[in-house]
A and B are shown apart, each in its own frame.
Chain A
Amino acid sequence: MSDVAVKQKDLTPQVSGAPKPANALDARLDALDLPEGGFTAAARSDALSRLRDTGLPGPRDEYWRYTDPKAFNAPNPQPIPVEDKAPDSPLFADLDRLLLVFVDGRFDAAASSDLTLDGSEISILSNAEGDANHWAKDLYGKLEAAGQNPVSRPFAALNTVAATEGVLIRVTGTVSKPVHILHRREAQDADVNWHHVIRLEEGAELTLLETGMVGARSNGVIEADLAPEAKLHHIAAKRAGHQTVGTTAIFARVDREAQFRSFTLSVNGTMMRNEGVIEFVGDDALGHIAAAVLGDGDTGPFHHDDTVFITHGAERCESRQVFKKVLKNGAKGVFQGKILVKPGAQKTDGYQISQALLLDEDSQFLAKPELEIYADDVVCSHGSTTGAIDETALFYLRSRGVPYDRAIVLLVLSFLADALEEVADEGLRGEINDRLEAWLTRRAGKRG
């Protein structure tokens, strides 16, 4: 299926379907406290005019067919009680890291580390806005804007317009410790728009961790700009509240020999849409994006959508998408993944796998893999599977004395292993695996 003409600069994103009331977007915008002035002003104004062109998405839009945007379009989020303390200890708490805490989307300086980290410049969006010469001026909203073509991403544009808070990180060398962004939720009705900008200079390396609970509704954007030979390891393990809704979009521009790796762990949440947009602009670069998703409809509806677009615009780049979803009790998973190989992007190596493990017959997985290739010497492959627990493996474990529920936990971890492998750091991977195991064990045997 082709919906792209990569050479046509003036191609506007297509938003088709039923006409939406002209005031839907206005109502959405009116409910927000839009920031004014500051170095982001021009970018915000540009994003607003783009957003007015595309409007908010409707269910008939090509990339919103499987996910109803209603909850994201509504002017205000549904208030959701703040859950008691998380059942698990905080992730990465024992790690030597630079901690940045946001409460209902607002930066909490008192709970955060000092912003000084060798080899980097770190600032907070709300504090930096007044700096007319801030380095992020050339990036804020820029990668998001570039990522709107050929597929429009209205909520990312809305985010650029409305984001009040975020982290701006510029790395010039290899930093001594990871930067950890921790979200906390206190208000029942927080509608959080966060926007991080990451710039890695030539050869720089950063590990960025994201954890915690964001808001009743959240809309997050990361713009990551990787100069030649830079390396970004992004690991998100955000704990959604059971009824929360949210969208995220990560835009990565990856230059020569740079390496971008992103892994997201998603559990719970009613309605999640995560978009990944990666563009290779220099040769021999690498971009991996992976997710492990656990959805249980036991505590309410669960819908999780991963939508990825990878553009190979240079030679010999390697892209890899690994998406694994474990669904039960009527949970629904969506994957839309596209690899676009532009003319001249020879020796591209593109790989995509999306798999769902359905633990019962009520759950559902919808996958739409797409390849669009304009170069003749490339290797691109994609696969998608939906299956149940392997009965032979289950019997094997049980025949050794492993009880049924425990055997299911082991087999689910086995299923997710490929996605987890994308977390290169063994310690971090182990911690995430333990977290997954605890969640699975807690919910083992719960059936609707």
Chain B
Amino acid sequence: MLKIDNLHVKLEDEDKQILKGVTLEVPAGEVHAIMGPNGSGKSTLSYVLSGRDGYEVTDGTASLDGEDLLDMEPEERAAAGLFLAFQYPVEIPGVGNMTFLRTALNAQRKAKGLDEVSAGDFLKLIREKAKDLKIDADMLKRPVNVGFSGGEKKRNEILQMAMLEPRMCIMDETDSGLDVDAMRLVSDGVNALRSEGRSFLVITHYQRLLNHIQPDVVHIMSNGRIVKSGGPELALQVEEEGYGDLVEAG
């Protein structure tokens, strides 16, 4: 599914190397977690994969099912099946949540050569998905993320994920700013989306999210590289011992 090989990335405007040779493969249907201390390059990896401006790939490759991701515009990556759940979902006043999602869904369908979803079918679909995430009709009508609490914003990200049905989901610190109940709702939402054809890359600081979303593989990232990979027990080790030894080992 997702294949990253020797990825080197620097900031576009500064001579600062952030990723220094990341190699990682997420097979179809698996959930991989990336943990690591602040500044290790986790968020940069998520941005580079999804096509945000401001970064320069100096070496290496990243592909989704064999398609070169780095050569695509962000919207093309989305249509190819990539989804980034933002750490800080963006507020867009004046654009209704539903308008936004329907525009996105239909744009992706168009890119894939499919017919647009009618307003009626869309409404039915979104109501159904929103219910599971306890997102009420009012939240759907409001402008994108405007006036949403931290938890509501993250739930809205998962709703978008559920509607757009990506094959590769990257979640950038989705647990930050969530209380226990919100974390459970978000995790349940994610778990409901787990399937054989869909993979997840879950970026987090803390092990607790991984109690809810059980990963198949845990990677430790430090100073722009994956320094260690292992099973879920690696996350527990981080929780108990911190990053110190692991990072040094790398």
Contact = CB atoms under 8 A, between A and B. Distances in A.
Interface string A365-409: 000000000000000000000000011110111111111101100
A144 to B, nearest CB: 35
Interface string B92-115: 111100011101110110010000
Contacts of A397: 92, 100, 104
B160 interface: yes
Contact of A395 (B74, B99, B105, B160): B74
Nearest to A390: B90
Interface stretch (B36-44, B46-54, B181-189, B213-221): B46-54
A393 B160 CA distance: 15
Contacts of A407: 75
Interface stretch (B20-28, B78-86, B122-130, B222-230): B78-86
A396 B53 contact: no
B52 A395 contact: yes
Contacts of A420: 94
B107 A403 contact: yes
B103 A406 contact: yes
Interface stretch (A35-43, A210-218, A278-286, A410-418): A410-418
B93 A398 contact: no
A403 B90 contact: no
B94 A417 contact: yes
A410 B50 contact: no
A393 B90 contact: yes
B236 to A, nearest CB: 32
A51 B104 CA distance: 56
B78 A401 contact: yes
Nearest to A415: B94
Given A410-B95, A413-B95, A414-B95, A402 B90 contact: no
Interface residues of B, number: 31
B73, B92, B93, B100 — which one has the most chain A CB atoms within 10 A of its CB?
Answer: B92
B164 interface: yes
B78 A400 contact: yes
B89 interface: yes
Contact of A396 (B92, B99, B107): B92
Q: Which of A390, A397, A406, A410 has the most CB of B within 10 A?
A: A397
A393 B92 CA distance: 7
Interface string B49-68: 01111000000000000000
A422 to B, nearest CB: 13
B75 A403 contact: yes
A237 to B, nearest CB: 18
A413 B94 contact: yes
B79 A401 contact: yes
Given A391-B53, A414-B95, A398 B90 contact: no
Contacts of B100: 397, 400, 402, 410
A393 B145 CA distance: 11
Contacts of B84: 399
Contact of A402 (B52, B86, B107): B107
Contacts of B103: 402, 406, 410
13 contacts: A390-B90, A395-B74, A396-B92, A399-B78, A400-B78, A401-B78, A401-B104, A401-B105, A402-B75, A403-B75, A410-B99, A414-B143, A418-B93
Given A399-B74, A410-B99, A414-B94, 18 more contacts: A390-B90, A391-B53, A395-B51, A396-B86, A396-B89, A396-B90, A397-B92, A399-B84, A399-B86, A400-B78, A400-B164, A401-B111, A406-B103, A410-B100, A413-B94, A417-B93, A417-B95, A417-B143
Smallest CB-CB A-B distances: 8 pairs: A417-B94, A401-B78, A398-B74, A401-B108, A400-B104, A414-B94, A396-B90, A398-B75
